[in-house]
Amino acid sequence: MASEKEPGDIPAASPSTPPAEPEKRKREYKDFGHEEEKATHANVDMSTIELKAEDLYDKEKVDLETIVIDDVFKLLQCDDNGLSAEEAQRRLELFGPNKLESEEQNAILQFLSFMWNPLSWVMEAAALVAIALSNGEGRAPDWQDFVGIVLLLFINSAIGFYEERNAGNAVKALMDSLAPKAKVKRAGTWSEIESSELVPGDMVSFKIGDIVPADCRLTEAINVSIDQAALTGESLPQSKKSGDQCFSGSTCKQGEAEGVVISTGANTFFGRAASLVGQDDDTTGHLQKILAQIGSFCLIAIGLFVFLEIVILYPKFHYTYRRGLDNILVLLIGGIPIAMPTVLSVTLAVGAQQLAKHKAIVTRITAIEELAGVTILCSDKTGTLTTNKLTIDKDTIRTYSSFSPDDVILLAAYASRTENQDAIDMSVVQAIGDTARARAGIKLLDFKPFNPVDKRTEITYREEATGKLKRVTKGMTGIIIELCTRNKTEELENKLEADVEEYATRGLRALAVAYEEVDGDDFEAEGNGFELIGLLAIFDPPVKMVTGDQLAIAKETGRRLGLGDHMYPAKVLKDGPAPGSKHRSLDEMIMDADGFAGVFPEHKYEIVKRLQGLGHLCAMTGDGANDAPALSRANVGIAVEGATDAARGAADIVLTEPGLSTIVHAIRGSRIIFQRMRNYSIYACAVTIRIVVCFAILAFAYQFDFPPFMVLIIALLNDGTIMTLSVDRVLPSMTPDSWDLAEIFAYAVAYGLYLTLSTIALVIIIMETTFFQDKFGVALETSPVVANDPQLHMVVYLQVAIISQALIFVTRSHSFFFMERPSAALFCAFCLAQLVSSIIAAYGDWGFTNIRAISGGWIGIVWVWNIIWFFPLDFIKFGMKATVIKYLRDRHAKAAAAAAQHDAAEGVPMTRTQSRAASIHESLYSNRVSFIKRAARKVGFGGKISMKPEELQRFSSIQAQRVGATLARNPSRTA
């Protein structure tokens, strides 16, 4: 035993102490985390203060956080009387003010940035074509198209601008939570100054209720207790003694203290968190990535047919300049889904209002879309997991005796607390329906609650109906089976093991239940032996816990919440897996872990970054300033109820009610919103194909010149109707959503080509035959009908407008369109748009565009024609599902299986990733572009704190780097 002791261990006081006790205590104590940090000396010659900067980068030589106080005073060139006013002013110029700078953004540049993406570029080009290039041949510029296009662009930008200007600034929130005033000793005299004027080397004082104004080492401490929960995540206030470090922004809960300031502003613990928050501002959101790819699909389709029109219409048909340009404008205006960012923005904004009803406030609106696809939720413990709800899966209960599943749940409920419940007891009691049944018909004689050693609960009770004493226990499977002496056999253990493994593969946790009877009236007597009666399955939310608390507390929290206790101390994130362990890489260890304890801001940041590197969309919950960097880095940062301003500023979603149930509502709501956006994306791509292919073919076949203004009318009516998709009735998926763009494009091409066929068939019948004229007595202006008959244009307008919009009822449903009722808003908007289209068709004699009103007979023909062509759309959807979509999904599943096998064989690769997928192309949709940032900097709009990544890696010695290096270069005296 002696050989196992750490240096400094106290020997056992009594030889009679059982040997197992110290061993157990020692193991538990070791798990408890915080390693004792002993005072160190700077390994440099302290007789001279002329230190080199490279020496200060070496933590082996000097670390202001741990070296003895005397060395701190020497290194910082100060004493306990404080600095002189002149020296304080000199250091203020050297180190800057003790506050965090926030970036102010120019509103005009921010608004204009929303018009800077490829979809907008094409529409801007179309506007220029309409106003500048459409001159000549005796015709005026195309003002109507120009005004309509510009109006669409400005509406889109205004919505995006409004959303972003309302978003909170995370760095500003961190800055605002710094202490505004500080008590400082200068030249031997105490005074109160603005905390922003503090400099390294100042002597400061604080007492109960004060916020620590800067990172400092205590020189005097009288019964001091500091609450660091908002910074480090520790649940309880920490006692501090002379020589200890206190962090800026933490709160003094007890006692009085004096200390010497060792770092200020951006170089404090708090400031480092702020710089981490600002690190990822150059990346684009996941929604922007999808928009980029959908935009590319539409641009390629339009570009291809514009090119074909140029090389066919001009050389072959000798089109004049202006006539060919009008045809190209039709493709540009009709094909570009310019309203896509606007429609999606409105969908997200309405969704945000709906989430607010569930007490979830959205601060970055595109986070809703990302939340729908989140595959891993990393949760901070403190204030986040305290009201977690687990659920018993009744359909998967296993029984091993004569008891039925209902009996097993009832007996398990007996063995659960009915008050002061932990999450597992609550889930078991709620599973029986009426919670009063958990104590009905029995008299409680003895109850043993769960504890980390026994890992089970136990009740002894008297059954009132028979008067017999009985005992039930529930708990961890391995513990319970060891107690079961009555029916434990090799066969039973094998079956139990197989059932637990099956649960595990399905993401369920197992809870074993055993039962015995007790002879006589002594409730403390031994029973007749436990008998395993059942195994309960508990839904285990896919959560990883990331907490600054101690390891044992983290494990216990994990046990109580059913999250598992497979947790590691934060040091493994630096050291990696131990040699010979089952994990071949740190990434594999992170994926396997239930959580991490004792973490600092960049630990949480690193965990999230690595999970993203493994291809996961990651959500992070938290409540303190220490969580802000990881909240900012995560695809979706969630600040829980009671979070600090710093965490709220960094988060994308802020909860105003405690517990994970609010997050569940938010995820469900986000998946509903995702379905609405997916439905719209299929519709928008299909309409692009339909307009571009249809009008290009008509131009090639009949030299058909459709008026560009009527395409703009179709786009306006379509987009106005589609806005109501934001409140459509849809069902959320049961698994994380993801954008399968191959599926979306496949559906779009199928629908688009079918709708193209419907229009071309109508035009052929009208132009090549007299079927409608003979059967229904209708006529057009020209006879025989020519391609550019103004009334034929109107017929085509009405046919395209009606059936294109009706397509949304097919794309929004999984079954037949009439099986899933749309929202009243969508249906009414559709009816109103079709009424407007029909009225335009009946009365639209507009001189500036080549159309003429048509008779009621033609309107009726178009409606009937569209209805006939509409019904087969569902069968196209089913046919696509059975063929192309099935093939795409099978191919995707095979690729995923192959990747999993490769990872199992080779180990999980470590790939560097940005928090939100970004490339040069995708960043064009980020509403932030480098030239705008550079322009803002040139004209002096705001600055930003920056910190090099290598400095962040040297977390504990950054203060020495900044303070010591600066003073070494600018000594106030020489020794």
Alpha-carbon distance of 728 to 294, in angstroms, equals: 22
Alpha-carbon distance of 680 to 279, in angstroms, equals: 33
* Residue labelled with tokens 């006013």: 85
Alpha-carbon distance of 283 to 900, in angstroms, equals: 28
pLDDT above 70 as % of the chain? 72
> Residues 215, 219, 222, CA angle at the centre, nearest 5°?
105
CA–centroid distance for 649 within its chain: 15
Alpha-carbon distance of 302 to 322, in angstroms, equals: 19
478 φ/ψ angles, rounded to the nearest 5 degrees: -65, -35
Beta-strand relationship, 543-546 and 618-622: unpaired
Work out the average pLDDT over 684-709.
Answer: 93
Confidence at 171, pLDDT banded by 50, 70, 90: very low
78's tokens: 């100060």
Alpha-carbon distance of 717 to 833, in angstroms, equals: 6
pLDDT at 745: 94
pLDDT at 859: 96
Neighbouring residues of 270: CB distance < 8 A, sequence distance ≥ 6: 100, 174, 178, 215, 231, 247, 248, 249, 625
pLDDT at 923: 46
Amino acid at 209: G
Nearest one of 446, 535, 550, 431 to 492, comparing CA atoms: 535
Whole-angstrom CA distances from 240 to 215, 608, 819 are 14, 31, 67
Query: Do residues 416 and 438 touch, judged by C-beta distance below 8 A?
Result: yes
pTM, 2 dp: 0.59
Q: Name the maximum alpha-carbon separation found in the chain.
A: 117
pLDDT at 554: 66
> How does DSSP assign 234-298, residue by residue?
-SSPEEE-TT-EE-TT-EEEEEEEEEEEEE-GGGSHHHHHHHHHGGGTTS--HHHHHHHHHHHHH
- Per-residue DSSP letter, 40: B
Kindly report, residue by residue over 426-472, the tens digit of the pLDDT: 888 888 888 888 888 999 998 887 765 677 899 999 999 888 999 99
Nearest one of 187, 223, 239, 193 to 81, comparing CA atoms: 187
Work out the average pLDDT over 703-723.
Answer: 86
915's tokens: 């928090």
Which run of H or of E encompasses 204? strand 203-207
Neighbouring residues of 267: CB distance < 8 A, sequence distance ≥ 6: 95, 215, 958, 959, 962, 963
Beta-strand relationship, 215-227 and 238-240: antiparallel
Whether pLDDT at 954 is above 50? no
524's tokens: 């403390």
Neighbouring residues of 599: CB distance < 8 A, sequence distance ≥ 6: 233, 546, 547, 548, 570, 573, 607
Residues belonging to the active site: 380
- Write down the mean pLDDT value for the chain: 76
Neighbouring residues of 100: CB distance < 8 A, sequence distance ≥ 6: 171, 174, 175, 178, 265, 266, 270, 271, 274, 945
> How does DSSP assign 576-605, residue by residue?
-SPTTSS-SSHHHHHHH-SEEES--HHHHH
Nearest one of 863, 738, 735, 870 to 813, comparing CA atoms: 870
Query: Do residues 115 and 217 touch, judged by C-beta distance below 8 A?
Result: no
Confidence at 803, pLDDT banded by 50, 70, 90: very high
pLDDT at 154: 84
> How does DSSP assign 385-442, residue by residue?
STT----B-GGG-EE-SS--HHHHHHHHHHTS-SSS--HHHHHHHHHTSSGGGGTTTE
- Per-residue DSSP letter, 954: T
Bigger pLDDT: 435 vs 324: 324
* Residue labelled with tokens 């890992």: 455
Strand partners, 221: 257
pLDDT at 910: 39
637's tokens: 């940062």
Kindly report, residue by residue over 519-548, the tens digit of the pLDDT: 888 888 888 899 999 999 886 444 556 666
Work out the average pLDDT over 95-121.
Answer: 75
284 φ/ψ angles, rounded to the nearest 5 degrees: -105, 155
Whether pLDDT at 286 is above 90? no
Strand partners, 456: 475
Amino acid at 948: K
pLDDT at 625: 66
Alpha-carbon distance of 815 to 874, in angstroms, equals: 8
Alpha-carbon distance of 213 to 257, in angstroms, equals: 12
Could you count the other beta carbons within 10 Å of the beta carbon of residue 554? Answer: 28
Work out the average pLDDT over 874-893.
Answer: 91
3-state secondary structure of 940: coil
Alpha-carbon distance of 121 to 137, in angstroms, equals: 27
Query: Do residues 16 and 535 touch, judged by C-beta distance below 8 A?
Result: no
Kindly report, residue by residue over 561-610, the tens digit of the pLDDT: 566 667 778 777 777 777 777 777 777 777 777 777 777 766 788 888 88
Whether pLDDT at 769 is above 60? yes
Whether pLDDT at 772 is above 60? yes
Strand partners, 537: 510
Alpha-carbon distance of 243 to 259, in angstroms, equals: 9
Whole-angstrom CA distances from 446 to 417, 418, 471, 484, 577 are 12, 14, 9, 20, 44
3-state secondary structure of 779: coil
Residues in the chain: 975
Work out the average pLDDT over 752-777.
Answer: 94
445's tokens: 């004689």
User: Where would I find the H helices in 871-940?
Assistant: 872-880, 886-906, 930-938
Whether pLDDT at 932 is above 50? no
Whole-angstrom CA distances from 176 to 401, 507, 645 are 63, 43, 8
pLDDT at 597: 77
567 φ/ψ angles, rounded to the nearest 5 degrees: -120, 155
Alpha-carbon distance of 929 to 924, in angstroms, equals: 7
Bigger pLDDT: 152 vs 42: 152
Q: Distance from first CA to last CA of the chain, Å, rounded?
A: 51
146's tokens: 């120009």
Alpha-carbon distance of 548 to 384, in angstroms, equals: 13
47's tokens: 């007789």
- Per-residue DSSP letter, 724: G
Whether pLDDT at 98 is above 80? yes
Alpha-carbon distance of 228 to 219, in angstroms, equals: 19
> How does DSSP assign 726-750, residue by residue?
GG---PPPSS-----HHHHHHHHHH
